[in-house]
């Protein structure tokens, strides 16, 4: 039997929202796939020619860019951060909506004006995206790379501001922070390895199935 096509999906909220979309695209994973307490990383589907892997969001892009997975589902924030030339993002899946924002302590925000910044120091897991955004505005950005617990950075003096994903804003509020600027609006995209898309017709058919699945939910 031919080697199955691998579709990489991130853990967390996108995975939950992706399950109905996968079903509409004709891909039904084994039950354990939706159970994030499971330590399994690879899962079978109703299609013997398609397997799923469940990994961290940033790793989805890496697996697909390097051809270890042929397709993936990931937020546009990850695509913008890594800007892999090997990735093609043909379908906006219209799930996983949030935004990437600058946030700072409420006391600082009370007298701050982002339009007057010439230099900012921020903690973020998106240093490349952040630098590009501020360079386009003529602002020098000093980025401190963190992989999590961003909201602690201002409290502990690591940086005055953070750049992070924001959905409801509850986490920011609970940590005394407020949004002061939106860098980008985010949604999940279907990504494809460019070489696989060109050489494997079935990959193209899967892309078309996802496109129809998005149209069906509209």
List pLDDT tens digits, range 61-114.
999 999 999 999 999 999 999 888 899 999 999 999 999 999 999 999 999 999
The confidence score (pLDDT) of residue 216 equals 81
103 and 45 in one domain?
A: no
128 and 82 in one domain?
A: no
91 and 194 in one domain?
A: yes
Tell whether the model's pLDDT for residue 218 goes beyond 80.
no
Residue 75 belongs to domain with CATH number: 3.40.190.10
175 and 132 in one domain?
A: yes
131 and 58 in one domain?
A: no
76 and 179 in one domain?
A: no
Our CA angle for 146, 142, 97, nearest 5°, is 55
196 and 153 in one domain?
A: no
74 and 150 in one domain?
A: no
Beta strands in 119-196 (DSSP E): 119-124, 140-145, 161-166, 177-186, 188-193
Which of the pair, 218 or 216, is modelled with greater confidence? 216
Residue with tokens 């043909």: 90
> Range of 164's domain?
98-185
The confidence score (pLDDT) of residue 35 equals 82
Of the pLDDT bands very low, low, confident and very high (cuts 50, 70, 90), residue 137 is very high
Domains of the chain: total:
2
Stated pTM of the model: 0.91
Name the packing angle between helices 201-217 and 13-24 (round to 10°): 100
180 and 191 in one domain?
A: no
Do residues 145 and 158 make contact, with C-beta atoms less than 8 angstroms apart? no
- Please measure the distance between the N-terminal and C-terminal CA atoms of the chain and give it in whole angstroms: 36
84 and 13 in one domain?
A: yes
pLDDT digits 0-9 by tens, 193-207: 999 999 999 999 999
89 and 16 in one domain?
A: yes
């Amino acid at each position: 039997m031919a080697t199955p096509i691998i579709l990489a999906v991130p853990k967390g909220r996108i995975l939950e929202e992706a399950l109905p979309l996968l079903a509409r695209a004709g891909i039904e994973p084994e039950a354990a796939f939706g159970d994030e307490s499971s330590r399994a990383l690879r899962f079978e589907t109703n299609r013997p020619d398609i397997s799923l892997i469940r990994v961290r969001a940033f790793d989805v892009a890496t697996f697909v860019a390097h051809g270890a997975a042929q397709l993936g589902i990931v937020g546009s924030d990850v695509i913008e951060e890594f800007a892999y030339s090997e990735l093609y993002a043909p379908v906006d899946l219209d799930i996983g909506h949030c935004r990437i924002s600058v946030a700072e302590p409420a006391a600082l925000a009370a007298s701050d004006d982002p339009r007057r910044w010439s230099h900012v120091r921020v903690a973020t897991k998106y240093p490349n995206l952040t630098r590009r955004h501020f360079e386009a505005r003529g602002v020098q950005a000093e980025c401190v790379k963190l992989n999590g617990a961003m909201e602690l950075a201002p409290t502990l003096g690591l940086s005055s501001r953070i750049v992070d994903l924001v959905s409801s804003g509850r986490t920011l509020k609970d940590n005394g922070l407020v949004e002061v600027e939106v860098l980008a609006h985010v949604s999940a995209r279907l990504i494809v390895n460019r070489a696989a898309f060109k050489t494997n017709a079935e990959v193209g058919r899967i892309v078309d199935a996802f496109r129809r699945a998005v149209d069906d939910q509209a």
